[in-house]
Amino acid sequence: MRTQRVWVALIAICALLLSAGSAQAASLKIGYFDLQAVLDQSQWGKEAKAEFAAKKAALQSQVRDKAKEFEDSKQAFEKQQALLDDKAKKEKILELRQMQMEGEKLLMQTNAELNKLSQELTKPIIDKVIEIVQSMGKKEKYDYIFEVQKGGLVYATEKTDLTKDIIKELDKAKPKK
């Protein structure tokens, strides 16, 4: 949906450029930036990524521990299975199913927690980037500024790439801890 809007905007701009006189077209100022590069290369983005990675590693460790506990119990049951009566087998199978469900629940909770954390860490950065881009657009008199995404921009000269400028401004605007 977003890609479609970008294409429509690009087609509209191309039509505007073609229909406008060469003097008017020459005065059009267009820029672009790469949000993913801003997130990857800015100090604020790097710190958010490091915080996310640390939390992810801790949560994945819990999931691995739970999975290992389940596998160990399952292997122990398989070794003892021949020695157990039917009632004990059924109880152990129910116990293993319960452990498996708890492990799956933990995995789902972990994924939900990581998604929420990702949103919490990136939203303030993205909000600030939008503010910077709008300010930059007004200050430097851009007519249009696009964010590059897969398929969103077919061609642009490097001189109109604002990614590095946005990273500099974001690094200046990063809240102090």
| pLDDT in the model for residue 54 | 97
DSSP secondary structure, 97-145, as one string: HHHHHHHHHHHHHHHHHHHHHHHHHHHHHHHHHHHHHHHHHHHTT-SEE
pLDDT tens digits in sequence order for the chain, 177 residues long:
555 665 555 565 555 555 555 555 568 888 888 999 999 999 999 999 999 999 999 999 999 999 999 999 999 989 998 888 989 899 999 999 999 999 999 999 999 999 999 999 999 999 999 999 888 888 988 888 888 886 556 556 677 888 999 999 999 988 887
The domain in which residue 85 lies consists of 2-173
pLDDT of residue 17: 56
Provide, for the chain, the percentages of residues in helix, strand and coil under a 3-state DSSP scheme, each rounded to the nearest 5. Answer: 80, 5, 15
Domain count, the chain: 1
What does the block give as tokens for 151? 């398929």
Residue 154 dihedral angles phi and psi, to the nearest 5°: -85, -40
Confidence at residue 107, expressed as pLDDT on a 0 to 100 scale: 95
* Residue 11: predicted pLDDT: 63
Structure confidence at residue 20 (pLDDT) = 53
pLDDT of amino acid 15? 57
